[in-house]
Amino acid sequence: DAKTTQPPSMDCAEGRAANLPCNHSTISGNEYVYWYRQIHSQGPQYIIHGLKNNETNEMASLIITEDRKSSTLILPHATLRDTAVYYCIVAGGTSYGKLTFGQGTILTVHP
Amino acid sequence: DTGVSQNPRHKITKRGQNVTFRCDPISEHNRLYWYRQTLGQGPEFLTYFQNEAQLEKSRLLSDRFSAERPKGSFSTLEIQRTEQGDSAMYLCASSLVPDRNYGYTFGSGTRLTVV
């Protein structure tokens, strides 16, 4: 699996957009970008994934650069409950197997 | 379906004892994964099953660890002769392949403390 690089921590004010970056410069053509988050003492929660087009769901938006070497997860209106560790993962194939988690980004949303 | 269920939530055991954890995946999911997570680290892959077949095992899964998924439903992870280094959160996840629309669904984990 390709490796990803994320900042160790970020802060965001409640109600503002949280933009979490991820570098994945060695991503290959059939690999997807996945985002998960983990709130303290819980298992990771799937957020969103994409291949090369931008994606949006009820939780977040995913912006992938044209060269696919980096991406940004956007939480449009962060709340205190969005405080968590956010993991950016690259995995591929038509039926992906294991996900390799890195250290992630600790996002702290302040009142 | 209430999601992925793991039991017990917490387990304290003495060094050298055997422990077994259970994971009940989402019923229609054909893949089941086990991960281990220590404090401050991301989850580390241990093994995964497709139906009842164990398809991959990490080198982290020493010969003291064994996982089974009889009949392709629930799974058990057994650790024999536990060591203090086995203290961690053990996470189970399931997914439906090839439907990747919803990613993995993780359980809340079993926290193991070896004293």
In sequence order, what DSSP letters do the residues of B20-44 get, joined into one string? EEEEE--TT--EEEEEEE-TTS--E
Q: Which residues neighbour B76 within 8 Å (Cβ) at sequence distance 6 or greater?
A: B20, B21, B22, B23, B67, B68, B69
Distances (CA, A) of B26 to A48, A62, A75, A82, B92: 19, 26, 27, 25, 11
Higher local confidence (pLDDT), A1 or B71: B71
pLDDT in tens, chain A (111 residues): 558 999 999 999 999 999 999 999 999 888 889 999 999 889 999 999 999 989 999 999 999 999 999 999 999 999 999 999 999 999 875 556 778 898 899 999 999
- Residue B10 in tokens: 């917490």
pLDDT of residue A2: 56
CA of A98 to nearest chain B CA: how many angstroms apart?
7
pLDDT value of position A62: 97
d(CA A39, CA A86): 9
Type of residue at B91? L
Which pLDDT does position B71 carry in this prediction? 87
Give the tokens for residue B37. Answer: 């997570």
Give the pLDDT band (50/70/90) at residue B78. Answer: very high
Strand partners, A77: none
More confident residue, B60 or B16: B16
Of A96, A98, A101, the CB nearest to B100: A96
Label the pairing between strands B110-114 and B10-13. parallel
CB contact under 8 A, B100 and A32: yes
Amino acid, single-letter form, for residue B103: G
The two three-digit tokens of residue A24, written as one number = 């994945």
State the Cα angle at A85 between A69 and B12, rounded to 5°. Answer: 135
Angle (CA) B58-B63-B65 rounded to 5° is 70
**pLDDT of res. B99:** 64
On average, the pLDDT of chain B sits at 92
Q: What is the pLDDT of residue A109?
A: 98
**Residue B1's pLDDT band (cuts 50, 70, 90):** low
Identify the band that residue B2 occupies on the pLDDT scale cut at 50, 70 and 90. confident
A-B contacts (CB, under 8 Å): 53
Are residues A104 and B100, on separate chains, in Cβ contact within 8 Å? no
| CB-CB contact of A108 with A10 (8 Å) | yes
